[in-house]
Structures are given as structure tokens and as C-alpha cells.
Amino acid sequence: MHANIFRGVGVALVTPFTASRSIDYLALEKLINHVIDGGVDFLVSLGTTGETPTLSTDEKIEILEFTKKINNKRLPLVCGIGGYNTLEVIESFAKYPLQDVDAILSVSPFYSKPSQEGIYQHFKALSEASPLPIIAYNVPGRTGVNMQPATIVRIANDCEKVIAIKDACGSVAQNMEVIKNAPSSFVVLSGDDDLVLPQIACGVQGVISVAANCFTKEFCQMTHIALAGMFDEARAIHFKMLDGINLLFADGNPSGVKYVLSKMNICENAFRLPIVGVNKNVEEKIDSYLKN
């Protein structure tokens, strides 16, 4: 399987909950069909946006099975399996129903704050054990450690199963260094919805997006025409969406995106602690943005 099936827009699906905090499968079905109809290129199940820290292993398996069923092989599917205990992540590979899954998204170890060598050894061990291609995920705002460009390039060269990175480091300079030095087959995906346009100009091949849950058509259109080199047209859409994207993250993720999805009657504005809904001030700003 070639890594370029992950070019374009992947969507980090939220996990809808009912008012009683159980998983709302009807809403999840509605969301999956909504993003597919909106033009996304691949689905990402069980990412951070899916509130995975509050889901049990059984629930995660159920969500993945359900997502596979509703997707029905229409789009490539990525499953999030990560953690700060390398051995436990490897053991998890065997627990998940990975038939009809195309890749694993695995975050660099969080909380334990390993050295760059530790991050490298983690992905090397995952690469040797994984049944599927791996998209590494660098999100220093959540993990406490940035995967340095030299580490990413080393992983890209040495770890056969690691075919791509989702980089949410917030630095176009870092993205450029990786693209310049990594093998040409290694795919760099954005993890920063507000930076996708300039990143594509530098060679990033797509994005795993939060905003694509709700601003699906516009976000996909912007990304696709930017990838086609039509930057003037893409820029117009980028600036139209920019305030909205910033508001999605103004009071935490997925609080903002679930509020917008609730306004679209796709899912309820419901969370499991410690995530809560956005504050009234952000609600008003989102309402005003959506109205305009």
C-alpha cells in the first residue's frame, strides 16, 4: 500500500455522546456520512479529537468496528493507537480489529517526556511489531516533547513501516526541514488546520484535520485546490475560514468542534470529563461567525 493514499484531507472524527454520556452511534453514522459527502479523502478513528483518553478499550474496539461498517470501504481508514508505554502499544496492535484498516496513527510518547533517542527507539520498536503502516504523530503541545526534524528524518529512513508523519508542531520551518531531508516517499501531513495552506506551498501533502468535521466542504476545497497549485483561490477560502478555525480551538478541542456540530444537528454538545463545553463568550463568537 502506497503512502500517497493519505494525500489530501483526513478527518480526525469526534466521538459523539448522548446527554447521558454513552456513545451516540446514530450521530457517529451521521457524522461519517457527512464528512464523506463533504469530500474528505480518508477517515481517522480514535484520535485525540475522539476523546480517546475517556474511552475504555472495549468502547474503542466497538467504535472502530462501527466506523468500518459505516465507511464500508468507501475511504481509507486510519486507527489511532498510541501511548507512553511502548510495550503496551505493541500489545494493543493485537487487540484491535485491524482488518479493513489502512494505517495506524501513533502519537509520540506523552507525559514521560523521552529524549530524542527514546522517541526514535519507540517508533523503531513499533515499526518492527506493527501489522500495518504507521503514521507517526508529533504534537508537542500535548506530549511535552517536540520530535526534532533530525529524529523524524532518522525514523523515516530507518523504520520501514513508518510511512508518514502528522506534524502539529506549529512550525512551517520544521516541516520544510523534514521535507527537504526525508526520503521522497515519506509523507508529511499537517496537524495544524490554520497552517495547511502555507505548509502545502512548502510540500506538505495534506492534513489530518479537526475543522473537516464541521467546515468539511470548504476545508476540503481549499486543501484540494492548494494541492493543485491554485494558491490565489485557496487563499480566499483560507482567510474566509481562518477565524472559524481559530474559534474551534479557542476553548479546547474537541469542545469547539462539537459545539459547531451540535448547531448543525449532527451530534449533541456532550463530553466526558475532564472535557467540557466551550464557555459562553466563545459560544457567542462561534454563533456570530456561523451567522456571517
Catalytic (active-site) positions: 137, 166
d(CA 260, CA 262): 5
CB atoms within 10 A of CB 58: 9
Per-residue CA distances from 166 to 74, 158, 170, 267, 271 (Å): 22, 18, 11, 26, 25
Buried b (16+ CB within 10 A) or exposed e, 195-225: bbbbbbeeebbbbbbbbbbbbbebbbbbbbb
Count other Cβ atoms within 10 Å, centred on residue 20.
7
Whether the CB-CB separation of 109 and 119 falls below 8 Å is answered with yes
Tally the residues of the chain. 292
Name the nearest CA neighbour of 155 among 193, 120, 197, 195. 120
Cα 59 to Cα 248: distance, rounded to the nearest angstrom: 26
- In whole angstroms, how far apart are CA 45 and each of 146, 155, 252, 273? 23, 24, 19, 20
171: Cβ contacts below 8 Å, ≥ 6 apart: none
Please state, as a whole number, how many other Cβ atoms lie within 10 Å of the Cβ of residue 127: 19
